């Protein structure tokens, strides 16, 4: 049974009202505050229907209704209108971003994260560009002093990653060059996540007599490959605590300990990678138990058509979806343009 126009109106109004006030919405309130053109009794009947259909629920008998997750889902899919940002808002966002002046990736990401959380008033999550999605272009090793050097890794998407390493004593510049040249020959053009451990082992065999320097160079490669390169930046972790659903200390602790575990956050965001435009996960739609009282709005950003990172906003299930979606979308577009 599809929702008739009146039910849609009421569901819409309940969501809107509840998002603003965080309290169950009663029929009288609705009749008073929204000019729906029918009485509270009618609304009561419709609400009872909506509850039976699973779009609304009652915290307890004789309280108002709040949207169920199904209700929010319907709202997000069919009822809400994502506003285009006004010019004015765009200017404000750009001011918060100030990306033009940024050079270093880390700085950009941190700024995006901060901006997202401050404008939405929820917690933001940003995954820095993932090298694994790019292809190997070139590696160099630059000696600094007798003992140390810098390994530089360049990808086809134009990212540069570098790392200070210890150089083995007995290696002269020529030998160093040989090693580096060999590595470049073997690796050039490979997607970074194609550089498997078995390939690395093979290379190690070939170069066993230069093994030391190789080990160091490998460290950088492995780091690029490893999960913890997928660094996550959080912004406004305390923002979400202002929401009334988190006035309970136990809930706060559970959520904060989630924030401390990068790997969990990655898994939370990862499903969003490679997916469509903007992705909304409501409550239990999140696989992660710790986030099932929350909703997550994510979008990915790209370089040269390849998705290389994700930004997102985490708030309570009772979230300002339309507003957040508009903002997340905008930020992702800005990042696309930037890289």
Query: What does the alpha-carbon distance between residue 268 and residue 296 come to, in Å, rounded to a whole number?
Result: 9
Candidates 178, 116, 117, 73; CA nearest to 334 is: 116
What are the φ and ψ backbone dihedral angles of 310, each rounded to 5 degrees?
A: -140, 145
Q: What is residue 65's DSSP assignment?
A: B
Answer for which of 36, 93, 102, 150 binds a second copy (CB under 8 A) is 150
End-to-end CA distance of the chain: 47
Under 8 Å between Cβ of 283 and 72:
yes
Tell whether the torsion through CA atoms of 270, 276, 280 and 281 is positive or negative.
negative
Give the residue, chosen from 22, 41, 63, 164, that forms a contact with a second copy under the rule CB under 8 A.
164
Which residues from 220-239 bind a second copy, rule CB under 8 A?
236-238
One residue of 90, 222, 260, 333 binding a second copy per CB under 8 A: 260
Q: Which helix (H) or strand (E) holds 234?
A: strand 232-235
Q: Residues 20, 21, 39, 166: which binds a second copy (CB under 8 A)?
A: 166
Dist. CA 287–CA 305, nearest whole Å: 28
Q: How far is the CB of 301 from a second copy (least distance, A)?
A: 20
Q: How far is the CB of 219 from a second copy (least distance, A)?
A: 8
Q: Does 28 bind DNA (CB under 7 A)?
A: yes
Residue from 231, 226, 225, 192 nearest 109 by CA: 231
Which of helix, strand or coil describes residue 72? helix
Nearer to a second copy, 197 or 248 (CB): 248
Closer of 71 and 236 to a second copy (Cβ): 236
Among DNA, a second copy, none, what binds residue 104 when CB lies within 5 to 8 Å by partner kind? a second copy
Q: Identify what 22 binds: DNA, a second copy, none; CB under 5 to 8 Å per kind.
A: none
Residues 37 to 76 in contact with DNA, rule: CB under 7 A: 38-42, 44-45, 47-48, 51, 58-65
Residues touching DNA, count (CB under 7 A): 25
Nearer to DNA, 65 or 318 (CB): 65
Percentage helix, strand, coil for the chain under 3-state DSSP, each rounded to 5: 55, 20, 25
Which CB, 48 or 150, lies closer to a second copy? 150
For 256, residues 6+ apart whose C-beta sits below 8 A from its C-beta are: 237
Binding region for DNA (CB under 7 A): 6, 24-29, 38-42, 44-45, 47-48, 51, 58-65
Binding region for a second copy (CB under 8 A): 103-104, 140, 142, 144-145, 148, 150, 152, 154, 160, 162-166, 219, 236-238, 241-242, 247-249, 252-253, 256-257, 260
């Amino acid at each position: 049974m599809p929702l008739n126009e009146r039910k849609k109106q009421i569901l819409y109004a309940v969501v809107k009202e509840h998002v603003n006030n965080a309290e169950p919405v009663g029929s009288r309130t609705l009749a008073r505050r929204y000019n729906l053109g029918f009485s509270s009794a009618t609304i009561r009947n419709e609400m009872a229907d909506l509850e039976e259909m699973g779009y609304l629920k009652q915290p307890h008998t004789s309280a108002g209704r709040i949207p169920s997750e199904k209700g929010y889902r319907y709202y997000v899919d069919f009822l809400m209108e994502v506003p285009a940002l006004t010019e004015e808002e765009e200017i404000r966002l750009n001011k918060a971003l100030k990306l033009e002046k940024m050079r270093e990736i880390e700085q950009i990401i941190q700024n995006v994260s901060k901006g997202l959380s401050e404008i939405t008033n929820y917690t933001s999550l940003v995954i820095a560009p993932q090298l694994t999605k790019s292809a190997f272009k070139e590696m160099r090793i630059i000696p600094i002093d007798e003992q140390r050097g810098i390994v530089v890794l360049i990808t086809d998407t134009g990212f540069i990653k570098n790392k200070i390493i210890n150089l083995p004593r007995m290696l002269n510049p020529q030998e160093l060059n040989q090693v580096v040249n060999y590595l470049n020959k073997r690796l050039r053009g490979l997607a970074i996540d194609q550089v498997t451990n078995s390939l690395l082992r093979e290379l190690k065999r070939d170069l066993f007599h230069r093994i030391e320097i190789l080990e160091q160079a490998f460290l950088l490669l492995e780091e690029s490959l490893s999960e913890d390169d997928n660094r996550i930046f959080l912004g406004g972790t305390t923002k979400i605590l202002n929401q009334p659903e988190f006035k309970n200390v136990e809930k706060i602790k559970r959520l904060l300990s989630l924030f401390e575990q990068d790997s969990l956050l990655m898994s939370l965001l990862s499903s969003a990678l490679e997916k469509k435009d903007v992705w909304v996960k409501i409550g239990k739609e999140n696989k992660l138990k710790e986030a099932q009282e929350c909703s997550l709005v994510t979008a990915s950003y790209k370089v040269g058509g390849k998705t290389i990172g994700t930004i997102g906003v985490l708030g309570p299930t009772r979230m300002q979806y339309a507003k957040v979606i508009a903002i997340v979308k905008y930020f992702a577009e800005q990042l696309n343009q930037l890289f």
